[in-house]
């Protein structure tokens, strides 16, 4: 896909599942992303991942990009593939 000379990788059509459905954490009712932001959990302060409460977007986005399979699938691959850069 190309816009204005920039080459962008088009993300695959992932089923419209929320983070808690994908990760099967059982915390959806107490999650700050529930019920409306389950596909943007990485942008919501105080979500839970890998058994610990996460902080703000700025504090957790690097972990999301590096470790989260949901984030990876949502963005269409590892962050470097989605942005077309390696760093």
Domain ranges in the chain are 23-80
Q: Specify the pairing of strand 52-53 against strand 48-49.
A: antiparallel
Which of 34, 26, 24 shows the shortest CA–CA distance to 70? 24
The model carries a pTM of 0.69
Which residues fall within 8 angstroms of residue 14, CB to CB, at 6 or more apart? Answer: 73, 74
Q: Is the pLDDT of residue 56 over 80?
A: yes
Rg (CA), the chain: 14
d(CA 29, CA 23): 14
Question: For the chain, what percent of residues have pLDDT higher than 70?
Answer: 71
Per-residue pLDDT, 30: 93
Q: Is the pLDDT of residue 68 over 50?
A: yes
Per-residue pLDDT, 71: 93
- Contact by Cβ (8 Å): 20, 1: no
Per-residue pLDDT, 51: 87
Per-residue pLDDT, 84: 47
């Amino acid at each position: 896909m190309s816009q204005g000379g920039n080459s962008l990788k088009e993300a695959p059509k992932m089923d419209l599942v929320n983070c808690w459905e994908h990760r099967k954490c059982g915390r959806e009712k107490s999650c700050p992303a529930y019920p409306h932001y389950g596909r943007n959990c990485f942008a919501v302060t105080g979500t839970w991942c890998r058994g610990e409460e996460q902080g703000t977007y700025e504090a957790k986005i690097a972990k999301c990009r590096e470790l989260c399979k949901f984030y990876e699938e949502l963005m269409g691959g590892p962050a470097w593939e989605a942005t077309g850069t390696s760093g």
